[in-house]
Amino acid sequence: MDIIAWKILFSSGEGKIIYLLGLIAAAMIIDFISGCICAKMTGEFKSKTGINGILKKMVSMMVLLLFFMMNFLLPEGIGFSLTAVLYTGYLMMEIQSILENMDKLGINTDCFKKTEQAYKDKLKEEKDGKDSNR
């Protein structure tokens, strides 16, 4: 595929959802690896816990794929908007887990925490603004 074909793919609603799903998959892999490293360094590494983690991530990915397929059953635009919100929230949870693992490993994550707090403050402002307009 050339660059123009990729650009066309990712400019559609479906393409953006697929891109988000790819980001989630990458975050899941990073989270699993960082969790394993963290568990190994703290002496809490257990194969059963690791297998359970893999199984949870596999089931999560299947559910996320199910929501993607359900998009086509809903009226145009609504399904993709809902899925984008779900995927974004799930991606944020994965990133939060990665940051927690980095904290446990002693890696400074202050810059990420400041960005996260600014994002949360912005969401709160928008929510408060919408609540006052009612």
Q: Averaged over 41-47, what is the pLDDT?
A: 85
Dist. CA 18–CA 23, nearest whole Å: 9
Residue 47: phi and psi, rounded to 5, are: -65, -35
pLDDT in tens, 46-78: 888 888 989 999 999 999 999 888 887 877 777
pTM: 0.76
Q: Nearest 5 degrees, angle CA 93-CA 94-CA 97? A: 90
pLDDT at 67: 86
pLDDT at 133: 60
